[in-house]
Amino acid sequence: MPAKIEVIKNQILSDNWFVLRNFTYELTTKEGGIIRHKREVYDRGDGATILLYNREKNSVILTRQFRIATFVNGNDSGMLIETCAGLLDDDSPEDCIRKEAIEETGYQVGAVEKLFELYMSPGGVTEVLHFFAAEYNESLHTSAGGGVDDEDIDVMEISFPQAWAMVKDGRINDGKTVMLLQHALIEGWLKLDPAHGC
């Protein structure tokens, strides 16, 4: 049953880059009571991310770049290892992720598989992230990657066991990336111990 919401105030606090709004709303509870909340909501648009993987090499393509939000919240270097990703802007999710893959990683991917779409931080950010996966090989490596304009992105090809070890020891701590690596393991696309098939 949908919640009954009455918006009392919808105020734009900033639209300098994306849009930050202050909402005051009343929520009718399932018991019939009314709760008033004040919340800030950040609308940065929706995005897409992709895991590039190679079954034969048992490897993945990841990126490393500076992320200011992690820097101000305990990541001393500010560098984050993650799957290729970007905002949709006016593109469809599939068009967006194809463009991001070539710009960031240098791989011109063929068929992409849509996995799911998720709200990543629903307490205060509107973004829905569309998750994709695609197989890569060297024939698809058509440019150096590294991003465009003001981006400074390192491209990393690493074995799946190494990526998994990096999750376990905290070197990979980006949510979307961990979810995609877990998905690849569950689906059997990649193996932790290729010699033993597991």
- As a whole number of angstroms, the longest Cα–Cα distance in the chain is 61
Question: Are both 39 and 86 inside the same structural domain?
Answer: no
User: What is the per-residue pLDDT for 197?
Assistant: 58
Question: Are both 64 and 149 inside the same structural domain?
Answer: yes
Question: Are both 88 and 134 inside the same structural domain?
Answer: yes
Question: Are both 28 and 93 inside the same structural domain?
Answer: no
What separation in angstroms does the CA of 147 have from each of 20, 24, 85, 173, 195?
A: 27, 39, 11, 21, 35
Question: Are both 112 and 66 inside the same structural domain?
Answer: yes
Average of per-residue pLDDT across 114-123: 96
Q: What is the pLDDT of residues 150-176, one digit of tens each?
A: 788 999 999 999 999 999 999 999 999
Q: What's the CA angle centered on 81, arms 94 and 174, to 5 degrees?
A: 75
- Is residue 161 domain-resident? yes
Question: Are both 34 and 55 inside the same structural domain?
Answer: no
Chain mean pLDDT for the chain: 93
Question: Are both 116 and 22 inside the same structural domain?
Answer: no
- CA-only gyration radius of the chain, Å: 20
- Is residue 80 domain-resident? yes
Domain region containing 152 = 47-191
Question: Are both 111 and 92 inside the same structural domain?
Answer: yes
On the question of pLDDT at 196 being above 60, the answer is: no
Whole-prediction pTM: 0.92
- Is residue 28 domain-resident? yes
Q: Is residue 144 very low, low, confident or very high in pLDDT (cuts 50, 70, 90)?
A: confident
- Is residue 56 domain-resident? yes
Total domains present in the chain: 2
Selection from 176, 174, 73, 74 nearest residue 127 by Cα:
176
Question: Are both 103 and 65 inside the same structural domain?
Answer: yes
Q: Is residue 17 very low, low, confident or very high in pLDDT (cuts 50, 70, 90)?
A: confident
On the question of pLDDT at 2 being above 80, the answer is: no
Question: Are both 104 and 15 inside the same structural domain?
Answer: no
Under DSSP, the state recorded for 195 is G
User: What is the per-residue pLDDT for 1?
Assistant: 60
- Is residue 153 domain-resident? yes
- Is residue 25 domain-resident? yes
- Is residue 8 domain-resident? yes
Question: Are both 52 and 17 inside the same structural domain?
Answer: no
Question: Are both 102 and 52 inside the same structural domain?
Answer: yes
- Is residue 196 domain-resident? no
Domain of 119, CATH number, reads 3.90.79.10
